[in-house]
Amino acid sequence: MSAFSLFTSICPPQNPDVLSYLRECLGSWKTAGFDIVAVNGPTECAAMEPLKLPVTWHRLPRDGKPLIGNILAAIRSRPVGFAGIINADCQLIAYPDLAENLARNLSGRAAFAHRFDSDNGALKPMLWGFDAFFFDTTLLSSSDLGFAIGDPWWDIWFPMSFEIAGVPIETIDTPLVIHRIHPIRWNWLRWIANGNQFWAWLQEHQTTPLFGKIEPAWREQRRLSRVGRTSPGGSCHPCLRRIAFDAASVLNRHGENRRTWPQLRTFAPMVSPAS
């Protein structure tokens, strides 16, 4: 067993192309030196076991998208010093000894990686959110705010929860995660609801640098947006958009917690995944 495990949740592939891409993603994690644990409900586990994917199944008692709390509990149940959470549709660039090099630098710390969206070979960095999270397992949050993996705002709350706890955090500048684009499946009503849930949590932690960036007139409001039309141009209050932007800015702040992690890219190309 590796000292570093990646945790994810896998949606059962609906066609051969999706299955092939899933195998590419999981294969890139194994090549990087990670063990893989998939957190899924019993029906999904039973449906995917015949596919012989390179994962260990962590069965939940119920079906449905797992909460982040379910994944954190799965991490705590395993004797690993370092762990990561990653979306199942992301590939890792084939840097030599990636898991080992990450572990060597993560004691008492957490690090997060943006993805690069791939569109017919063209790569575009997606800087206002995170798709891969790596951390010392002694530092895990005891809460999940009810967010599930893939929900809007969970990828902002999760790294922010480390910072609020006083954990040194870093954003990995070195290109690391490749994601094949697909139609957007966001629900803007969910984005607004989760944004307000994040806002309520943030009001309990007013010492964070993020709270200091918020307009004074907003700070006492219980909700920053009213649910209206489901389009991004509907009645979405600008406060939530601004907080999402400011949160990403705090987590990416000018060089203070960014590293290019040159040890990850030794002997490897910068952007193109190995064939």
Q: 139 and 220 in contact (C-beta within 8 Å)?
A: no
Q: Phi and psi (nearest 5°) for 251?
A: -70, -20
- Residue 158 sits in a domain of what CATH number? 3.90.550.10
Q: Determine, yes or no, domain membership for 224.
A: no
Q: Determine, yes or no, domain membership for 272.
A: no
Q: What is the pLDDT of residue 260?
A: 52
Q: What is the pLDDT of residue 13?
A: 95
DSSP H or E stretch at residue 40: strand 35-40
Strand partners, 37: 7, 56
Q: Determine, yes or no, domain membership for 191.
A: no
Q: Determine, yes or no, domain membership for 205.
A: no
Residue 171 structural domain = 4-185+254-264
Task: Measure the CA–CA gap between 248 and 157, rounded to whole angstroms.
Answer: 10
Q: Determine, yes or no, domain membership for 226.
A: no
pLDDT at 274 over 60: no
Q: What is the pLDDT of residue 21?
A: 94
Express each pLDDT in 139-198 by its tens digit: 987 778 889 988 888 988 898 889 888 888 888 878 899 988 766 666 778 888 888 888
Q: What is the pLDDT of residue 202?
A: 81
How many domains, in total, are found in the chain?
1
Express each pLDDT in 52-101 by its tens digit: 999 999 999 999 999 999 999 999 999 899 999 999 999 999 888 899 98
CA 161 to chain centre: 13
Q: Determine, yes or no, domain membership for 178.
A: yes
Q: 1 and 81 in contact (C-beta within 8 Å)?
A: no
Q: CB-based contacts of 213: which residues, under 8 Å, 6+ apart?
A: 246, 249, 250
Task: Measure the CA–CA gap between 61 and 84, rounded to whole angstroms.
Answer: 22
Express each pLDDT in 97-128 by its tens digit: 899 989 988 999 999 988 888 877 777 777 67
Task: Measure the CA–CA gap between 40 and 63, rounded to whole angstroms.
Answer: 7
